[in-house]
Amino acid sequence: MNKAFVREPDDTGQLNCPACGSLGIAVTRETWSAHVRPSVGTQLAESAFFCPFAKCQIVYFDMFERHITTGELLHGVYPKDPSAPICGCFGLTIEDVQADVDEGTPTRVRELLAKANSPEARCRTCSPSGQPCTPEVQRAYMKLRGLA
């Protein structure tokens, strides 16, 4: 492959999304293959990146300028699809978080945070970024409460 077409990760091993410039979250094949439709022709590298920006159509990309868009996934992923569960392991949605805010007690969020720290959580394959969803859930709760 021509060197000019290879995007080199920076010193931290990270790479920015080719579409929106967001800093990608490093994922392995174990993670991206759980979300990308097997019929999609694009083969990503063993080490690829997840674009966390909600409005960006690119979900995964690698250093060889290959990418997967939202339409090539098996299912919608949060935050690109706001109706998709925030937590891929236990299915917590933004409506659940809103219900907690409406009730004034974070029952569902608290329950999720407890479960997310248990061995039942399978973030490596259930979360599109391969990362625990807990910061995302906490951010959504703060936002809906008008605290962030």
Q: Are 129 and 25 in contact (CB under 8 A)?
A: yes
23 binds Zn ion (CB under 5 A): no
Helices (H), the chain: 29-32, 94-103, 107-116, 123-126, 134-144
Burial bucket for residue 127 (CB in 10 Å: 0-12, 13-18, 19+)? buried
| In the complex, least distance from residue 6 CB atom to Zn ion, rounded to whole angstroms | 19
User: At closest approach, how far in Å is the CB of 56 from Zn ion?
Assistant: 3
Helices (H), 47-133: 94-103, 107-116, 123-126
- CB closer to Zn ion, 53 vs 64: 53
Q: For the segment 27-66, give every residue that binds Zn ion (CB under 5 A).
A: 51, 53, 56, 58
* DSSP type of residue 90: T
Contact between 77 and Zn ion per CB under 5 A = no
Which of the 8 DSSP states describes residue 62?
A: -
- Compute the least distance from the CB of residue 67 to Zn ion, in Å: 9
**Which residues, 3 to 22, sit near Zn ion by CB under 5 A?**
17, 19-20, 22
The minimum distance between CB 127 and Zn ion, in angstroms, equals 17
Residue ranges binding Zn ion (CB under 5 A): 17, 19-20, 22, 51, 53, 56, 58
